[in-house]
A and B are shown apart, each in its own frame.
Chain A
Amino acid sequence: MLRAERLKTAGLPPLSFEVANGECLVVEGPSGAGKTRLLRAIADLDAAPGQVFVDGAERREMAATRWRQLVRYAAAEPQWWTDTPREAMPDGPQVMARVERMAASLGVAPELLDRPVSLLSTGERQRLALVRAVVDEPRVLLLDEPTASLDVGSAALVEELIRFQLLAGRAVVLVSHDTGLAARLAHARLQLAPPVTPRRATGVMP
């Protein structure tokens, strides 16, 4: 279970919320409202005052590397640091078998794992990044626009994967502009207010 207590990110009031295992919280709000910043703060990629718990343990009680094993942030525009996707996957023969199975379930042929990342399509990269994010079984998934650059068919496969993760007891926080996807998966919603534009000073007060 994921629980946030007065989590404060830039431009947002302190937020408190809970996401039970097997539940999906959809974070909504216009562009610039701070959806990505909120996900990054939960993953502890940005410093943010307040508390975040997973199964009762606060993020500062463990090493950040351990925290991000439990709480996995999948960015909207996934990046690769290796030549091929396979090299960026966790090691181990069992893991690799699971990687190939998951890739296939998302409609990505296992051969593509050995193709240079630069030759893959945006959609293929996005789906493989999702595989990379969930294959080592984190407890909490923070998904930022997981279907943004996918066609309808692939998006349906990704939705199926998220559903499967929920059935497996993961807590999911989802940011998506796909209202259909959000409506079908959401157990709860968090609505962020539009960003406040800084008021311009019009006169000098004495």
Chain B
Amino acid sequence: MTYVPIELSGLALASVLLILSGAISLWYRLGLERSIAVAAVRMVVQLAVIGLVLKFIFEVDAPLWTALFALLMLAATGYEVTSRQDRRIKGWQAFALGAGPPFAAGLVATVFATTAVIGNDPWYAPRFLLPVLGMMIGNALSGVSLVLDTVTEGLSREQAAVEARLALGHSRFEAASGVLRRALKSGLMPILTAMAAAGVVSLPGMMTGQILAGISPVQAAKYQVMIMFLIAGSTGLAVLMAGIGSILLLTDDRHRLRLDRLAAKG
């Protein structure tokens, strides 16, 4: 089993299928052909850039460049989470809450993997660190998005019930416990579904990639299992941090509900 590279002519051939979906849009007048074209061009440019950047980083193999790329991922995470929110928390805290937990939890899980599980030397080699970190952040990010949505939604909708508990002398975490529990649950749902569906409904992307690259399917499966464990751990950690952080931000140390820290819906 060996790796078979794809030529540019092959890519051109594959793009025929994209043109097919554009044709469907034209035929049924869905008006999506423009969006399809834009999305496709964007995708090609993004992947080409990331391919070249990663090639460069792997070649120079310097911790500084690896760290710089990780920082870029941090910024993108914050942007992605905050732009997905229905009701946002005002100010820079929204960004910190969106970027911090997925990145911190992802980094912990990734460093744990490269030092203890994979044991590559050095542990910070970008070829291992960056792809694993990306997968951790990507998954933690969807969990954190759900948590923040559930907390902001829940506290706004159940404001009166939460304040009834506060008025009785309950602490902010007691008063928000119902909302927090629901938020954590919804944040952990995607990884649960992913683990249940792995290999049955779809072959995970990383495992597919390794198989195409000529790795034996058993080895690829082992890698995938490790990644799933890591994702479960880092998502759990990120979800917990985001849940507690968002409750802390939307209440204050006098145990008041502070919905004034939410930006208007939009």
Which residues does A use to contact B, with CB under 8 Å?
43-47, 63-69, 72-75, 77-81, 129, 132-133
Contact = CB atoms under 8 A, between A and B. Distances in A.
A79 B160 contact: yes
Given A64-B253, A75-B163, 7 more contacts: A46-B256, A65-B255, A66-B169, A68-B169, A69-B169, A79-B164, A132-B168
B178 to A, nearest CB: 6
Interface string B155-197: 0001011111111111100000010000000000000000000
Nearest to B162: A81
Contact of B161 (A47, A67, A79): A79
A68 B178 contact: no
Contacts of B256: 44-47, 64
Nearest to B179: A81
A66 B168 CA distance: 10
A74 B162 CA distance: 13
A68 B169 CA distance: 5
Given A65-B255, A79-B160, A73 B169 contact: no
Given A44-B256, A45-B256, A81-B158, A65 B171 contact: yes
Contacts of A45: 163, 166-167, 256-257
Interface string B177-219: 0100000000000000000000000000000000000000000
B163 A133 contact: no
Contacts of B171: 65
Nearest to B258: A47
Contacts of B166: 45, 68
Interface centre among A45, A47, A80, A81 (most CB of B within 10 A): A81
Contact of A81 (B178, B255, B257): B178
Interface residues of B, number: 20
Closest 4 CB pairs of A and B: A79-B161, A79-B160, A64-B255, A68-B169
A47 B178 CA distance: 24
A99 to B, nearest CB: 13
Nearest to B178: A81
Contacts of A66: 169
B29 interface: no
Contacts of A78: 164
Contacts of B168: 68, 72, 132-133
B254 interface: yes
A78 B255 CA distance: 19
Contacts of A68: 166-169, 255
Nearest to B257: A45
A64 B254 contact: yes
B166 to A, nearest CB: 6
Interface string B225-253: 00000000000000000000000000011
A43 B254 CA distance: 11
A114 B197 CA distance: 42
19 contacts: A47-B252, A64-B254, A64-B255, A64-B256, A65-B169, A68-B169, A68-B255, A72-B169, A73-B167, A74-B167, A75-B164, A75-B167, A78-B164, A79-B164, A80-B161, A81-B158, A81-B164, A129-B164, A133-B168
A69 B163 CA distance: 14
Contacts of A72: 167-169
Contacts of A133: 167-168
B160 A77 contact: yes
A139 to B, nearest CB: 12
A43 to B, nearest CB: 6
A186 B256 CA distance: 30
Interface string B124-167: 00000000000000000000000000000000001011111111
